[in-house]
Amino acid sequence: MDRAKVAALAEERLDWRFKAAPAAAWGRSTAEYLAGGPTLDDLGTPLVTLDAGALEHNLATMAAWCAEAGVGLAPHGKTTMAPALWLRQLDAGAVAITLANLPQLHVARAFGLRRIHLANTLLDPAGLRWLSAELAADPELRFASWVDSVRSVELMAEALRGAPAPVAVCVELGAPGARTGCRTLAEAEAVARAVHAAPELRLAGVSGYEGAIAHDATPDSLAAVGRYLDQLAELHQLLLEADLFETAEVWLTAGGSAYFDAVTERLAPLGTDRTKVVLRSGAYLAHDDGFYRSISPLARTTAVPFRSALHGWARVVSQPEPGLALLDGGKRDFNFDLGYPEPQLVRGGGQLDAGKLQHSRVAAMNDQHAFLREAEVAVGDVVRLGLSHPCTAFDRWTLLPVLDSADAELPRVVDLVRTFF
């Protein structure tokens, strides 16, 4: 990445456009504001923050896990859409950043990212021609996207006819009832042969997403994931033996944040000097206090688990009836697609107290409020909330304060992370 462009984010002026930035920060750069030593008490609510210690722990833990397992990591950048965090992942050993659509590619190239894996099929003609021009202009740019039908191959080839550089693609294998991807090995082979025959494209690997196969860690779900990964391995071997791959390095890639242990177990043995087995886990960096906490491979084993780096903060603004408190943060502020926020502790009267929330729960949410039940709180108290599913947390905030420790009595703001959604 272009380190200078990432570093320049610290010079961006803060103002009313960033809902996490208090009025006291307006007109100052990020660097100037941080130099003043702000604390959590200087920020308003509702708010979502990151925890510096948890981020560092998760970066190091995943890097060590991949190194020991002998697999590469191209973390899904769509989770955070934060170039500063992408750079930290690359510095920790990631071989590329995975993205999901054309606007995200535009952000990546604006910050000079040169190793990009698009976990999607890019069919937009203007986007393909732009990408081809980027590839021609930057010999160090490495890119591959997905394709799962002969028709898609035809459309891509047509859009790229006469373009300055070919585009690399991976054949995607799916499963019945799942998301995208060829449904059979025969179909996938036909797509691979169509790519091989198109001079505008280069066959660069085999891809898939096992997270679309299952959504829990029951024995039946783990078995279904295993069967799918075996098919992915079979497809790779089939195309390798048919000599259809056209790039010096071939990727065999799968692995979200729920089953990367199974991916490694089934696919890592296929790695060679040419074949690179690459995980695409993205949620590990921020982790969560919900879905991924329950399903992460490191939570299902004796390994050191990831730590949640994401927290919501909301203030009690009303207690209209016994047992009910209304918080000033709702669906516009906190993610809720894989579970409501989890009440964790209360900041009030200069003290932290988790006991007041022992039997509490967020029972409902609307646009700007959360309905907190059975909590021992008072109007004015600030409640820390654990969040589930980081992929839908970052996109609500263009700026996320990073705290030295969300568990501290008075957390210090040590960084501000800029996102681009």
Query: What CATH number has the domain bearing residue 272?
Result: 3.20.20.10
Residues of the chain below pLDDT 50: none
pLDDT number for residue 60: 97
Looking at the fold, whether 88 and 184 belong to one and the same domain comes out as yes
Three-point CA angle 86, 339, 365, nearest 5°:
110
In a domain, 349, yes or no: yes
Looking at the fold, whether 32 and 125 belong to one and the same domain comes out as no
DSSP code string of 77-128:
GGGT--HHHHHHHHHTT-S-EEE-SHHHHHHHHHTT--EEEESS----HHHH
In a domain, 301, yes or no: no
Q: What is the rounded distance in angstroms from the CA atom of residue 166 to the CA atom of residue 99?
A: 19
Phi-psi domain of 374 (left: phi exceeds 0; alpha: psi -120 through 50; beta: other): left
Looking at the fold, whether 156 and 115 belong to one and the same domain comes out as yes
Looking at the fold, whether 158 and 248 belong to one and the same domain comes out as yes
Q: What is the rounded distance in angstroms from the CA atom of residue 81 to the CA atom of residue 122?
A: 19
Looking at the fold, whether 9 and 128 belong to one and the same domain comes out as no
The candidate with the shortest Cα–Cα distance to 312, out of 353, 350, 345, is: 345
Q: What is the rounded distance in angstroms from the CA atom of residue 168 to the CA atom of residue 249?
A: 11
pTM of the predicted model, to two decimals? Answer: 0.96
Q: What is the rounded distance in angstroms from the CA atom of residue 263 to the CA atom of residue 210?
A: 8
pLDDT number for residue 107: 98
Q: What length does the chain have?
A: 421
Cβ neighbours of residue 128 closer than 8 Å, sequence gap 6 or more: 122, 156, 159, 160, 163, 167
129 token code pair:
């021609």
In a domain, 335, yes or no: yes
Looking at the fold, whether 332 and 207 belong to one and the same domain comes out as no
Q: Are 399 and 412 in contact (CB under 8 A)?
A: no
In a domain, 39, yes or no: yes
Looking at the fold, whether 315 and 267 belong to one and the same domain comes out as no
pLDDT number for residue 299: 87
Query: What CATH number has the domain bearing residue 12?
Result: 2.40.37.20
In a domain, 299, yes or no: no
> At which of 256, 286, 316 does a domain end?
286
pLDDT number for residue 300: 82
In a domain, 293, yes or no: no
* Total number of domains in the chain: 2
> At which of 253, 286, 319 does a domain end?
286
Q: Are 323 and 359 in contact (CB under 8 A)?
A: no
Looking at the fold, whether 154 and 216 belong to one and the same domain comes out as yes
Q: Are 301 and 322 in contact (CB under 8 A)?
A: no
Q: What is the pLDDT of residues 63-89, one digit of tens each?
A: 999 999 999 999 999 999 999 999 999
Cβ neighbours of residue 219 closer than 8 Å, sequence gap 6 or more: none
Range of the domain at 325: 3-51+306-418
In a domain, 262, yes or no: yes
> At which of 286, 320, 335 does a domain end?
286
Kindly compute the dihedral angle of the four CA atoms of residues 83, 84, 88, 94, in this order, to the nearest 10 degrees.
0
The candidate with the shortest Cα–Cα distance to 381, out of 327, 334, 340, is: 327
pLDDT number for residue 303: 75
Looking at the fold, whether 142 and 250 belong to one and the same domain comes out as yes
- Please state the φ and ψ torsions of residue 201, each to the nearest 5 degrees: -125, 160
C-alpha atoms less than 13 angstroms from C-alpha of 381 in its C-beta half-sphere: 26
In a domain, 295, yes or no: no
pLDDT number for residue 419: 98
Phi-psi domain of 243 (left: phi exceeds 0; alpha: psi -120 through 50; beta: other): left
Neighbours of 70 (CB within 10 A): 11
Looking at the fold, whether 69 and 44 belong to one and the same domain comes out as no
Looking at the fold, whether 277 and 267 belong to one and the same domain comes out as yes
Looking at the fold, whether 33 and 118 belong to one and the same domain comes out as no
The candidate with the shortest Cα–Cα distance to 401, out of 59, 34, 8, 4, is: 34
